[in-house]
Amino acid sequence: MKSDLKEKMGTPTGLTLRSDHQQVPKNLRFLVAYENPEVSRTIASTLKEMGFSYIEERGESGNLYKIVKTGGISCLICGAKALERNRQELLRTIRSDEDLKQLVLVVVDGGLKKGKDLEPLPEGVDESISVPFSLRDFEGRIRKILLEKFSRSRAA
């Protein structure tokens, strides 16, 4: 009956129904380390609406590597400021750690300032999302990177 309803209602413009939609594991553990509490809460609530239950929120402070390593975190969503301190060292440490090879690293930045060109993603970062973002866009991009990352690990 649900499939009949989907056929009757049709697909909203710009939204593609995908059979792999359900393949995102719901037991993933997220760490949201963003300096703006309002944006952090928005990210966390969007992840909850996506069906994820383990979401830890922190400010940008603390040793992100230690938290990710000991907390069994699957996805780190952090602000660009959190990576500014020893960015290359943190990325190199995370990516060289065998236990963290599958960690999804998403950087949320404050958007482009006037006259500043879009910078390429630093090596080791899976996705970059600029504030402000639409919740639909955020959800789609997170789902896409999780599907890419975890379908590769299952295929290997």
Q: Answer yes or no: are the C-beta atoms of 59 and 67 closer than 8 Å.
A: no
**Cβ neighbours of 94 (radius 10 Å):** 19
Cβ atoms within 10 Å, residue 108: 25
Domains contained in the chain, CATH given: 25-110+122-155 (3.40.50.2300)
Determine contact, residues 69/60, Cβ cutoff 8 Å.
no
- pLDDT by residue for the chain (156 residues), tens digit each? 433 333 333 333 333 434 444 578 889 999 998 888 898 999 999 999 999 999 999 876 667 888 898 989 999 998 877 666 566 777 888 889 999 988 999 988 876 554 455 566 777 888 888 888 899 999 999 999 999 887 755 555
CB atoms inside a 10 Å sphere around CB 16 = 8
| pTM of the entire predicted model | 0.76
